[in-house]
């Protein structure tokens, strides 16, 4: 069976469901994508099973790529690099715009399978497909209006000093399971735009849209080897990619533990570019002057979008004590009415992640937290990995439930008295990715926002992104920034050239 053709024809929810019924006994098998061709992984190890979060049944089989498979893809990328790195910006931009067009043209197909594979709602998946297309169109335009720096040194023979950038080489791009297509394209688009080539390894938990994206690259007629895709486990395929001496840069989004391992494994390769976007345990500060209805709606969205499986979710709510008694019942009632499993809320991504979230809820119960909404789910889920929204109070600031990233539909609510205390509570965490500040005082927005240890701060809004601004975190939330010129820093090498007017 031609897996790509079979999936390509199932571009509606009904068609996809019919396909899943016919393949239930023998799930489809994905393949690696190297030099514009689909290949079976060479490893003798059995393929990995990827499960449907809504049912708990096997969805597809994913290649368990070996180090040899990764080396094959890296070699293909290295072969393509000399030509691609010298390809004129106009041609690179044209090809990236073609990819953006094909993503938009196949929006229904990609959104249906993203929703099935990850568990997110179809509406959420559609928004992420739109963003995936925008990632390519944005960087296609960026490289056509790129600016540089030129300075002059006076003297007997004045010297022009200008900055010149060149593509860094082969990159390893490793992405997580929570926003599979969106985050994969966020890395591939700038990588290719700035003249680099890539081997991408998406999460083995959510690989379907990455597989479909390979066909889009082929239809766009990208040169062979410019972008390659290997599937498999992080400990094998991911590790081989990170440590390959031919890979001159790694851009990774995922957990702190894996980020630490990448830094350790690449420490001796001093010239290798490293960009790490890691975890978040983000605070949401609600001050006494807010309009309560707006605050409730924004806090709920920031906590429960994509079932809380977004690294930017505001899972720690701190509200001024004077508004706590008003906020809590309004918030619980709003969440109960508007975030419903099977409707506006999907399942969590996997059995493993379900068990992780459950362990934190069991800990909260052990620590005598109050469950205003939700409960500890059953240990052995039946019929998918569903966890209804949970709202907790009564936990100490030192609790692991408050300190550690749960990455699920779980939010804690605590109080503060003063502005300084709110900032101290927000910063009392190892992570520093994002934060939300709700207040009607513009001066406070700036005053508080500029003191929070977070790479992104939103005032009275959330998840708004202008793609030229920096994306990344402080403290344990990572190193490096991506977006606009910041992505250029990741994917290029910089040199200063000095040219005299005469000699």
Q: What is the CATH number of the domain that holds 139?
A: 3.40.605.10
User: Tens digit of pLDDT for each residue in 332-369?
Assistant: 999 999 999 999 999 999 999 999 999 999 999 999 99
Q: Residue 43 above 70 pLDDT?
A: no
Average pLDDT over residues 434-442: 98
- 443: domain CATH number is 3.40.309.10
- Cβ proximity of 74 and 170 under 8 Å: yes
Average pLDDT over residues 229-237: 97
Average pLDDT over residues 101-107: 98
Query: What CA–CA distance (Å, rounded) separates 103 from 212?
Result: 10
User: Tens digit of pLDDT for each residue in 177-188?
Assistant: 999 999 999 999
Same domain, 178 and 193: yes
Same domain, 376 and 488: no
Structure confidence at residue 254 as a pLDDT band (50, 70, 90): very high
User: Three-state DSSP class for 259?
Assistant: helix
Select which of 114, 204, 277, 482 is catalytic.
Answer: 277
Mean pLDDT of the chain: 97
| Confidence (pLDDT) at 44 | 54
Residue range(s) defining the domain that contains residue 44 = 3-146+159-278+479-493
State how beta strands 247-253 and 170-174 pair. parallel
User: Tens digit of pLDDT for each residue in 382-406?
Assistant: 999 999 999 999 999 999 999 999 9
Q: Provide the number of structural domains found in the chain.
A: 2
| Confidence (pLDDT) at 1 | 59
User: Tens digit of pLDDT for each residue in 407-428?
Assistant: 999 999 999 999 999 999 999 9
Q: How far apart are the first and last CA of the chain?
A: 69
Q: Which residues face 479 on adjacent strands? A: 276
Non-local (6+) Cβ contacts of 39 within 8 A are 31, 32, 33, 69, 72
Q: Is residue 500 part of a domain?
A: no
Structure confidence at residue 156 as a pLDDT band (50, 70, 90): confident
Same domain, 123 and 249: yes
Same domain, 243 and 313: no
The residue among 306, 330, 305 whose CA lies nearest residue 319 is 330
Q: Is residue 154 part of a domain?
A: no
Report the predicted TM-score, pTM, of the whole model to 2 decimal places: 0.97
Average pLDDT over residues 429-438: 98
Same domain, 192 and 326: no
State how beta strands 390-393 and 370-373 pair. antiparallel
Query: What CA–CA distance (Å, rounded) separates 157 from 329?
Result: 75
| Confidence (pLDDT) at 325 | 98
Query: What CA–CA distance (Å, rounded) separates 355 from 385?
Result: 9
**378 noted as active-site residue:** no
Query: What CA–CA distance (Å, rounded) separates 293 from 383?
Result: 35
Non-local (6+) Cβ contacts of 260 within 8 A are none
């Amino acid at each position: 069976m031609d897996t790509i053709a079979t999936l390509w024809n199932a571009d509606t929810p009904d068609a996809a469901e019919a396909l899943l019924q016919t393949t239930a006994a023998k799930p489809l098998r994905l393949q690696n994508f190297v030099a514009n061709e689909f290949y079976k992984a060479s490893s003798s190890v059995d393929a990995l099973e990827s499960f449907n979060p809504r049912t708990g049944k096997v969805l597809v089989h994913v290649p368990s790529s070996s180090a040899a498979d990764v080396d094959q893809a890296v070699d293909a990328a290295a072969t393509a690099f000399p030509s691609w790195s010298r390809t004129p910006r106009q041609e690179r931009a044209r090809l990236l715009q073609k990819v953006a067009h094909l993503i938009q043209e196949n929006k229904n197909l990609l959104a249906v399978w993203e929703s099935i594979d990850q568990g997110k709602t179809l509406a959420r998946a559609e928004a992420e497909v739109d963003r995936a297309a925008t990632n390519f169109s944005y960087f296609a335009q960026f490289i056509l209006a790129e600016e540089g720096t030129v300075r002059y040194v006076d003297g007997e023979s004045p010297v022009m000093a200008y900055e010149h950038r060149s593509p860094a080489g082969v990159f390893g791009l490793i992405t997580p399971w929570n926003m599979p297509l969106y985050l994969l394209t966020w890395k591939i688009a700038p990588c290719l735009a700035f003249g680099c080539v890539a081997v991408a390894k998406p999460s083995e938990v959510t690989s379907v849209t990455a597989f479909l994206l390979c066909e889009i690259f082929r239809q766009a007629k990208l040169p062979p080897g410019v972008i390659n895709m290997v599937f498999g486990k992080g400990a094998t395929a991911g590790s081989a990619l990170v440590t390959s001496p031919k890979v001159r840069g790694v851009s990774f989004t995922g957990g702190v533990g894996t980020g630490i391992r990448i830094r350790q494994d690449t420490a001796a390769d001093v010239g290798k570019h490293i960009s790490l976007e890691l975890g978040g345990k983000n605070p949401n500060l609600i001050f006494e002057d807010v309009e309560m209805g707006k605050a409730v709606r924004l806090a709920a969205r920031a906590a429960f979008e994509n079932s809380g499986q977004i690294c930017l979710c505001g899972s720690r709510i701190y509200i001024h004590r004077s508004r706590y008694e008003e906020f809590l019942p309004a918030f619980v009632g709003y969440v109960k009415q508007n975030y419903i499993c099977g409707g506006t809320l999907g399942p969590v991504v996997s059995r493993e992640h379900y068990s992780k979230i459950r362990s934190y809820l069991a800990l909260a119960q052990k620590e005598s937290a109050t469950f205003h909404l939700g409960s500890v789910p059953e240990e052995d889920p039946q019929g998918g990995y569903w966890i209804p929204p949970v709202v907790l109070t009564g936990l100490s600031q030192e609790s692991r439930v408050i300190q550690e990233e749960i990455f699920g539909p779980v939010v804690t609510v605590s109080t503060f008295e003063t502005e300084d205390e709110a900032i101290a509570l927000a910063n009392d965490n190892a992570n520093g990715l994002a934060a939300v500040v709700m207040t009607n005082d513009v001066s406070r927005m700036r005053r508080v926002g500029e003191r929070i240890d977070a790479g992104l701060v939103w005032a009275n809004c959330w998840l708004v992104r202008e793609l030229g601004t920096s994306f990344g975190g402080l403290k344990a939330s990572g190193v490096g920034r991506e977006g606009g010129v910041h992505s250029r820093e990741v994917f290029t090498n910089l040199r200063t050239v000095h040219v005299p007017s005469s000699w």
